[in-house]
């Protein structure tokens, strides 16, 4: 199905862009911190911005890691099974990952709501922005798990980790 393949490509691209932007912010904040310490005084807000950027990098990257098999991929026993059993177990894993993530979303939303009442000390940002990373990570894990299951059922992919692009 073209729709399934296109949906997977769009979500992967959005997660890659989010990971790249948050990682660029992380690098920039650390660079400012290092230069500031070399000059004698580092801005206080750089440490906090680094933490925020790291949280967003992990939130965007978790789904991509699930897709590439870098998150958790224990397949020694699974892949040695005969017939369609490995495919069925990969489908079960994708559906289970999506289901657990979806189940946890309302609790993550409550966690985000708690952050509205708090602010970060250095930047003065509302902590719901930091807490939102948990919701984002769970949502992306649910989407990537569901897309893997959809791709498997549509015959677009077999559920094995996506190969990395050589460059």
* pLDDT given for residue 42 in this prediction: 84
Domain ranges of the chain: 2-154
* pLDDT given for residue 48 in this prediction: 92
* pLDDT given for residue 73 in this prediction: 65
pLDDT for 167 beyond 50: no
pLDDT in tens, 56-96: 999 999 989 888 877 766 677 777 888 888 889 889 989 99
Residue whose C-alpha is closest to residue 26's, from 65, 57, 59: 57
Query: What is the percentage of the chain residues whose pLDDT exceeds 90?
Result: 53
């Amino acid at each position: 199905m073209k729709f399934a393949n296109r949906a997977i490509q769009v979500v992967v691209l959005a997660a890659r862009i989010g990971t790249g932007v948050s990682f660029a912010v992380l690098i920039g904040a650390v660079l400012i911190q290092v230069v500031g310490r070399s000059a004698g005084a580092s801005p206080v807000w750089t440490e906090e911005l680094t933490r925020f950027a790291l949280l967003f990098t992990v939130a965007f990257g978790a789904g991509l890691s699930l897709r590439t098999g870098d998150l958790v991929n224990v397949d020694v026993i699974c892949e040695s099974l005969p017939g369609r059993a490995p495919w069925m177990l990969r489908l079960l894993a994708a559906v289970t990952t999506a289901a657990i993530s979806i189940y946890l979303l309302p609790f993550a939303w409550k966690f985000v709501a708690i952050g509205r009442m708090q602010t970060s000390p250095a930047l003065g940002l509302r902590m719901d922005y930091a807490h939102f990373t948990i919701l984002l990570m769970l949502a992306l894990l649910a989407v990537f798990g569901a897309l893997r299951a959809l791709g498997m059922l549509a015959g677009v992919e077999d559920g094995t980790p996506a190969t990395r692009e050589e460059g």
